[in-house]
A and B are shown apart, each in its own frame.
Chain A
């Protein structure tokens, strides 16, 4: 299976924060090819090679941003709220799936021209002022959907030019893919390493999944893989990373400097394309929670550059996913050498 097809499999399933069941089932089946794994009480997919030694934890989050049904209104439309950092700017007349008693395709309403006020020309409506049209009467809608159901943006993964792809939920299924690709690269070496993997739940709603998984894993060293901002028109100058220019190695007060440096040295030695991502404090990823869970862990962060974060038009370069996987694999190979020494 090539990277595109693998990523398609990982993104064709839904897993909005707190309701990752479907995405977890797919990710679990993929991880099982490399190590024994299961799903913990937080909804995380957790795997372990069971090899004795100081465990190293790899994390990528499983959940995606979405919407959540708050009520069925008297006309059969669904009232909604954000589940994670959904962006009201990209929702008018958007294609969605409501994960009710069954998967219900629908459309988010957009304001018709004669009802557009002066303010609507300039500003999007707040998410709580929007609703989802599922083409049903109130009674039908109530039988199929209810408060708490998750809603995802519909955008099956598609190829763009070169190595670029677009879709919803690339944040952070492409991180999940990078870990799977890393395990594939390691081959038989996986069975000799004290490796733990978590595909974590609830990152977009606070990071509770990774925190609990890190505690349970008892890891003293961890690498989180997430997506980060790529340069694009309109984004501030401080965003430097470019699509297709390699994995982003995080440097931050909250990350272990020696690990970051080691990753950089390996990337340079192995000619793996990389870029710097420098942050002044917290990283806004699972790295923040994993580093301080339980006794704490030395933490590194690798990020995959991405455009249009939290929309149905997220764009990445598969080359950057592969660079992330290659760097993690090279880092772990080094560990294996030390482990045997």
Chain B
């Protein structure tokens, strides 16, 4: 399972450029699956279970990751960019990135601490002053190598450390990995899977996927901000690594059905998986569009608690992987026959 997450984290797919992730997922689908790719690029998978399900349950995870996009190449060969999805300047300065189809290694420049004025020691530069240096000294040197519109991703090696696992794009490749794990063997009931596009730029893919698949219920498998870090106390931690699947009652995009939320809490006891909820109303995900698609779709979100979301170093807890698998499997089974 860690291998899956590692493979998926290493693939590059900012919003709108999910091709490599989609190809990997398609090549990983077992025989009992059929699939189609819609106009937006969502990968829709029909999974034939051992028995026919009473209800159509759609499991969704997004393929895209946050990153950067090339906007302009200066005369002296530097690359200007803007962010795709929420990326703070704090996680960009002096960092390594890969640029364009060829994955050119670049560095996001920063004025060295020695050359900054005292009052600027801790001050972030303006976002539009940032640039990527790939080693060129003129625009001509980048002809055929980099062009406006090219994708830029963090150059960040996935690795295990302590009880945790670190990599770029775990939001939401970790979710994609859980869905693949669920269909490693033929599941008990029929399922539909939606690997969605463009979540990070405003939940643009999942609605169409849900419209096409027309499910009775949906489960969004995601990652969500955990703030269980030094200095954060009580509810401000929101959720914690190693405490199991995170099932929210509400976030900034969805008010979840109380009935379903309570049923999931009961299931955790019955089926023996570890779950927690979010102690703040924060964040949002594809559930925000799925639940209001067509005639409405009752939706549950099940997330990994993840530290440093939207950075080159997303961090999840290794013990949560199994809890996530068990939680999603149990909830899917329950909804299939509800």
Chain A positions within 8 Å of B, measured between CB atoms, are 73, 75, 77, 79, 85, 87-90, 92-95, 104-107, 109-115, 120-126, 129, 131, 133-136, 140, 155, 158-164, 166, 229, 232-236, 239, 243-244, 284, 307-313, 315
Cα A85 to Cα B121 in complex, Å, equals: 11
Cβ contact within 8 Å between A233 and B129: yes
| Inter-chain contact total with CB atoms closer than 8 Å | 197
Chain A binder among B29-37, B107-115, B267-275:
B107-115
Cβ contact within 8 Å between B230 and A308: no
Cβ contact within 8 Å between A115 and B232: yes
A-B pairs, top 5 by smallest CB distance, nearest first, are: A135-B162, A311-B94, A164-B135, A160-B135, A135-B164
- Dominant SS at the B interface? loop
B202 at the interface (CB under 8 A from A): no
Q: Contacts A89-B113, A161-B141, A307-B133: A123 and B122 contacting too (C-beta < 8 A)?
A: yes
Residue of A whose beta carbon sits closest to that of B115: A235
Cβ contact within 8 Å between A105 and B166: yes
B244 at the interface (CB under 8 A from A): no
Cβ contact within 8 Å between A239 and B115: yes
Contact of A134 among B125, B133, B161, B227 (CB under 8 A): B161
Cβ contact within 8 Å between A87 and B112: yes
- Give the distance to chain A from B194, nearest Cβ to Cβ, in Å: 26
Cβ contact within 8 Å between A161 and B280: no
Cβ contact within 8 Å between B105 and A308: no
Find chain B residues with CB under 8 A from A124 CB.
90, 122-124
- Give the distance to chain A from B159, nearest Cβ to Cβ, in Å: 6
Cβ contact within 8 Å between A311 and B110: yes
Cβ contact within 8 Å between A161 and B134: yes
Q: Contacts A105-B159, A123-B123, A136-B163: A313 and B113 contacting too (C-beta < 8 A)?
A: no
Cβ contact within 8 Å between B113 and A93: no
B219 at the interface (CB under 8 A from A): no
- Give the distance to chain A from B236, nearest Cβ to Cβ, in Å: 6
Within 8 A of A (CB), among B223-280: 225-232, 236, 238, 280
Cβ contact within 8 Å between A313 and B312: no
Find chain A residues with CB under 8 A from B94 CB.
87, 89-90, 308, 311-313
Kindly state the interface size class of chain B when it binds its partner: 35 or more
Cβ contact within 8 Å between B111 and A95: no
Find chain B residues with CB under 8 A from A135 CB.
161-164, 315, 317
Cβ contact within 8 Å between A79 and B96: no
Residue of A whose beta carbon sits closest to that of B130: A233
Cα A85 to Cα B115 in complex, Å, equals: 12
Cα A79 to Cα B137 in complex, Å, equals: 40
Contact of A122 among B86, B96, B104, B124 (CB under 8 A): B124
Find chain A residues with CB under 8 A from B307 CB.
107, 109, 112, 133
- Give the distance to chain A from B130, nearest Cβ to Cβ, in Å: 9
Contact of B107 among A87, A92, A308 (CB under 8 A): A308
- Give the distance to chain B from A200, nearest Cβ to Cβ, in Å: 19
Find chain A residues with CB under 8 A from B137 CB.
243-244
Cβ contact within 8 Å between A234 and B122: no
Cα A285 to Cα B97 in complex, Å, equals: 31
Cβ contact within 8 Å between B230 and A79: yes
Contact of A107 among B110, B166, B236 (CB under 8 A): B166
Given contacts A90-B93, A135-B315, 6 further A-B contacts (CB under 8 A): A114-B225, A114-B238, A124-B123, A162-B135, A163-B135, A311-B94
Cβ contact within 8 Å between A140 and B162: yes
Find chain B residues with CB under 8 A from A77 CB.
229-230
- Give the distance to chain B from A228, nearest Cβ to Cβ, in Å: 10
Contact of A109 among B104, B109, B229, B312 (CB under 8 A): B229
Residue of A whose beta carbon sits closest to that of B155: A158
Contact of A89 among B110, B129, B161 (CB under 8 A): B110
Q: Mind listing 10 A-B residue pairs with CB under 8 Å? A: A87-B110, A89-B124, A105-B166, A107-B315, A114-B227, A123-B124, A136-B162, A232-B133, A234-B125, A312-B94
